[in-house]
């Protein structure tokens, strides 16, 4: 404590007087605006079990505050991803060989195992910039830009928002609009929809790059209910059009009676798929609607943060999400925050696990597990504390678990009992540091 | 058609909620608790963005709180 001792008696008296009067000593008037930067940084590890996706991510959000509540916010995220992800093909009682997306080599999955594509390695850098400023006494506006780049994907977006306070600032009505143009440049080219997977070196099933456009709109009301209760309700609309297919996902082409994948023989001297696989194909348009409600409730020092989201889209996916956090103070400087999240979704109308040989192909089909029927739960704990200099640190550890079911009517012959949804267990560990200068 | 109707109903719900709220709230000098950092709707914007990105990559839903995660060819 010795280092915090005031340097002189007069300074101590001035400080004591100010604290008694509840005022802050006036800062000298400056000719220029005095900048004030706030930094939010986080280091994240996300890791899935069974050598699936691992992500190490660095995140920075820097905000410069100006007079009159104007602010500039800059964001930077760098992700390093490795690991394997389910390709969409089903298990077989024999080993299966696949051509890699690049078309330059092949890999083999042992008998009985879920086919995972292990060529997944990427570095992603994302950048955001936003300018916010009040307009008059009751309006708040912001405009922003977002961009991201990874090896095979580029995102460019613009966004803007408008909010107005009513009713002694107890009610805020807000509206936001975001547009984005994304470009897929898949390794080896985007596959022709439903094209067969070909031998190594044969690229007749691939084309070039593809694009999609996204429009998001949000309108919402934030309402102060009482000194201790604040609620928000948002409606959001999102439309994506263009290439919405995942260029790396495939489906097994199976026998209509046994459900086993049709064997295939590569050309003489060539390396290639051991079975018949087809690239997936999704509709080129998707519209999502969601209704989101959040409440923050103060209970004698503890704060409950509860939210619920209902989402529905024209791919026939419906989902419900409940998120609960309780911030529990431990003394003056630290807190713990348990977190629970529940999620459930129904499958897309074109979700299937295989295509049947000799039958006319459906218009659209995907075996991507993320379009399937599953429930997910997240359970975690965060511990946060304030340093002596007033900066904040926190560490959180969470477990994320997906548990899915394949609808019984999608299983054919031997697939019954052999095929299961590729359940997922992942851990999330994050260290955050907030400081300003 | 069904979806257009649900969209309209959502807007009506927001308007009703908005107009019904004019009698609620606090006086400016009663904002001591609401002004606390832990009472803000988003207490940690970086953590919120990270979560949105994770769930956008692993689930078929996104957005709600704000704009959807997005901006990646996530596997």
Residues of A with Cβ-Cβ distance to B66 under 8 angstroms? 176, 218, 234
A187: distance to nearest CA of chain B, Å? 12
The answer as to whether A232 is a domain residue is yes
Q: What is the per-residue pLDDT across A189-232, written as a single tens digit (0 to 9) for each?
A: 999 999 999 999 999 999 999 999 999 999 999 999 999 999 99
The answer as to whether B37 is a domain residue is yes
C-alpha–C-alpha distance, residues A282 and A243, integer Å: 8
Q: What is the per-residue pLDDT across A268-316, written as a single tens digit (0 to 9) for each?
A: 999 999 999 999 999 999 999 999 999 999 999 999 999 999 999 999 9
Residue A221's closest CA among A160, A170, A177, A297? A170
The answer as to whether A310 is a domain residue is no
DSSP character at residue B50 = H
The answer as to whether A385 is a domain residue is no
Query: Complex ipTM, two decimals?
Result: 0.89
B9: distance to nearest CA of chain A, Å? 10
Give the neighbor-by-neighbor strand order of the sheet with A354-356. Answer: A277-279, A250-254, A354-356
The answer as to whether A386 is a domain residue is no
* Candidates B6, B33, B46; nearest CB to A40: B46
B7-to-A221, A285, A288, A348, B56 alpha-carbon distances in Å: 16, 18, 11, 20, 22
Residue A260's closest CA among A112, A412, A421, A108? A412
**Structure confidence at residue B5 (pLDDT):** 62
Report the chain B residue with the minimal C-alpha distance to residue A180.
Answer: B71
Residues 7-66 of B with CB under 8 A from A: 7, 10-11, 13-14, 17-18, 21-22, 24-28, 30-34, 36, 38-41, 43-47, 49-50, 53-55, 58-66
C-alpha–C-alpha distance, residues A323 and A305, integer Å: 8
The answer as to whether B46 is a domain residue is yes
The answer as to whether A256 is a domain residue is yes
* Candidates B30, B54, B64; nearest CB to A292: B64
**Structure confidence at residue B22 (pLDDT):** 59
> Mean pLDDT throughout A344-359?
97
Q: Which residue has the higher pLDDT, B10 or A247?
A: A247
Mean pLDDT (chain A) is 92
Q: Is the pLDDT of residue A392 over 70?
A: yes
> Mean pLDDT throughout A125-133?
96
The answer as to whether B11 is a domain residue is no
Residues of A with Cβ-Cβ distance to B72 under 8 angstroms? 124, 126, 148, 150, 153, 155
Query: What is this structure's pTM?
Result: 0.88
Q: Is the pLDDT of residue A3 over 80?
A: no
Question: CB-based contact (8 Å) between A290 and chain B?
Answer: yes
Residue A393's closest CA among A336, A352, A431? A431
* Candidates B6, B58, B63; nearest CB to A370: B58
Domain of B58, in residue numbers: 33-63
Q: In terms of C-beta density within 10 A (0-12 exposed, 13-18 middle, 19 or more buried), how is residue A299 classed?
A: exposed
Q: Is the pLDDT of residue A2 over 90?
A: no
The answer as to whether A382 is a domain residue is no
The answer as to whether A23 is a domain residue is no
**Residue spans of chain B under pLDDT 70:** 1-23, 68-71, 75
Quick check: A288 and B41 CB within 8 A? no
Question: CB-based contact (8 Å) between A174 and chain B?
Answer: no
* Candidates B22, B41, B44; nearest CB to A432: B44
Residues of A with Cβ-Cβ distance to B59 under 8 angstroms? 319, 343, 345, 370, 376
Q: Is the pLDDT of residue A355 over 90?
A: yes
Task: Please report where in the chains the tokens 């696949």 appear, as a residue.
Answer: A98
Tally the domains of chain B: 1
List, in sequence order, every residue forming a beta bridge with A286; answer none if it has no partner. A240
Task: Please report where in the chains the tokens 């996916």 appear, as a residue.
Answer: A317
Q: Is the pLDDT of residue A25 over 50?
A: no
The answer as to whether B47 is a domain residue is yes
DSSP character at residue B41 = S
- pLDDT bracket for residue A51 (50, 70, 90): confident
- Which H or E run includes B52? helix B45-58
Q: Is the pLDDT of residue A124 over 90?
A: yes
Task: Characterise A348 by phi-psi region: left (phi > 0), alpha (psi -120 to 50), beta (else).
Answer: beta
DSSP character at residue B33 = T
Quick check: B54 and A237 CB within 8 A? no
Angle at B44 between CA B38 and CA B46, to 5 degrees: 180
Q: Is the pLDDT of residue A1 over 60?
A: no
Quick check: A290 and B63 CB within 8 A? yes
Quick check: A235 and B63 CB within 8 A? no
B5: distance to nearest CA of chain A, Å? 12
> Mean pLDDT throughout A163-171?
96
The answer as to whether B5 is a domain residue is no
Domain of A176, in residue numbers: 40-293+344-369+400-436
The answer as to whether B50 is a domain residue is yes
The answer as to whether B23 is a domain residue is no
* Candidates B11, B39, B72; nearest CB to A153: B72
Q: In terms of C-beta density within 10 A (0-12 exposed, 13-18 middle, 19 or more buried), how is residue A241 classed?
A: middle
Quick check: A289 and B6 CB within 8 A? yes
Report the chain A residue with the minimal C-alpha distance to residue B70.
Answer: A155
Contact pairs from chain A to chain B, CB under 8 Å: 206
C-alpha–C-alpha distance, residues A126 and A58, integer Å: 10
Q: What is the per-residue pLDDT across A314-343, written as a single tens digit (0 to 9) for each?
A: 999 999 999 999 999 999 999 999 999 999
HEC string for chain A: CHHHCCCCHHHHHHHHHHHHHCCCCCCCCCCCCCCEEEEEEEEEEEEECCCECEEEEEEEEEEEECHHHCEEEEEEEEEEEECEEECCCCCCCCCEEEECCCCCCEEEECCCCCCEECCCCEEEEEEEEEEEEEECCCEEEEEEEEEEEECCEEEEEEEEEEEEEECCCCEEEEEEEEEEEEEECCCCCCECCCCECCCCCCCCCECCCEEEEEEEEEEEEEEEEECCEEEEEEEEEEEEEECCCCCCCEEEEECCCCCCECECCCCCCCCCCCECEEECECCCEEEEEEEEEEEEEEECCEEEEEEEEEEEECCCCEEEEEEEEEEEEECCCEEEEEEEEEEEECCCCCECCEEECCCCCCCCEECCHHHCEEEEEEEEEEEEEECCCCCEEEEEEEEEEEEEECCHHHCCHHHCCCCCCCCEEEEEEEEEEEEEC
Residue A186's closest CA among A199, A171, A203? A203
Quick check: A296 and B39 CB within 8 A? yes
Residues of A with Cβ-Cβ distance to B45 under 8 angstroms? 40, 61
A258: distance to nearest CA of chain B, Å? 30
Residues 6+ apart with CB under 8 A from A362: A350, A352, A355
Q: Which residue has the higher pLDDT, A69 or A12?
A: A69
Tally the domains of chain A: 1
């Amino acid at each position: 404590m010795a280092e915090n001792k005031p340097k002189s008696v007069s300074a101590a008296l001035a400080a004591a007087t100010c604290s008694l009067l509840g005022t802050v000593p006036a800062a000298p008037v400056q000719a220029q605006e005095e900048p004030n930067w706030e930094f939010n940084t986080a280091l994240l590890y996300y890791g899935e079990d069974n050598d699936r996706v691992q992500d190490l991510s660095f995140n920075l959000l820097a905000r410069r505050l100006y007079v009159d509540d104007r602010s500039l916010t800059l964001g930077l995220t760098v992700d390093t991803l490795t690991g394997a992800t389910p390709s969409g093909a089903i298990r077989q009682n024999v080993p299966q060989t696949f051509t890699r997306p690049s078309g330059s080599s092949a890999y083999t999955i042992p008998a009985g195992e879920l086919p995972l594509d292990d060529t997944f390695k990427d570095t992603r850098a994302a950048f955001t910039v936003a300018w916010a400023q009040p307009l008059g006494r009751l309006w708040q506006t912001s405009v922003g830009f977002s961009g991201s780049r990874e090896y095979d994907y580029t995102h460019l977006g613009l966004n803007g928002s408008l909010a107005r306070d009513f009713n002694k600032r107890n009610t805020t009505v807000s509206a936001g609009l975001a547009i984005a143009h994304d470009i897929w440049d898949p390794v080896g080219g985007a596959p022709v929809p439903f094209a067969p997977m070909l031998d190594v070196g044969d690229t007749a099933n691939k084309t070039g790059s593809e694009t999609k456009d996204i429009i998001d709109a949000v309108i919402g009301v934030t309402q102060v209910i009482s000194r201790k209760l604040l609620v928000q309700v948002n409606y959001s609309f999102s439309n994506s059009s263009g290439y919405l297919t995942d260029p790396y996902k495939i489906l097994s082409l199976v026998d209509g009676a046994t459900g086993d994948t049709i064997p295939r023989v590569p050309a003489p001297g060539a390396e290639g798929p051991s079975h018949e696989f087809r690239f997936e194909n999704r509709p080129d348009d998707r519209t999502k609607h969601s209704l989101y409600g959040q409440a923050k409730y103060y209970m004698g020092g503890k704060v409950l943060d509860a939210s619920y989201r209902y989402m529905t889209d024209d791919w026939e996916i419906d989902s419900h999400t409940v998120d609960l956090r309780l911030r529990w103070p431990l003394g003056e400087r630290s807190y713990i925050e348990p977190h629970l999240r529940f999620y459930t979704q129904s499958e897309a109308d074109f979700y299937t696990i295989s295509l049947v040989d000799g039958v006319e192909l459906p218009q659209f089909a995907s075996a991507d597990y993320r379009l399937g029927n599953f429930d997910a739960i997240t359970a975690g704990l965060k511990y946060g504390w304030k340093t002596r200099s007033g900066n904040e640190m926190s560490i959180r550890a969470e477990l994320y678990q997906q548990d899915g079911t394949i609808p019984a009517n999608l299983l054919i012959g031997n697939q019954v009992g052999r095929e299961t949804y590729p359940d997922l267990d992942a851990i999330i560990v994050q260290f955050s540091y907030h400081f300003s200068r | 058609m069904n979806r257009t109707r649900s969209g309209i109903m959502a807007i009506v719900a927001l308007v009703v909620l908005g107009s019904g709220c004019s009698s609620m709230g606090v006086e400016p000098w009663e904002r001591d608790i609401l002004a606390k950092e832990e009472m803000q709707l988003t207490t940690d914007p970086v953590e919120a963005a990270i979560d949105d990105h994770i769930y956008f990559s692993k689930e078929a839903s996104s957005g709600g709180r704000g704009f959807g995660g997005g901006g990646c060819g996530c596997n």
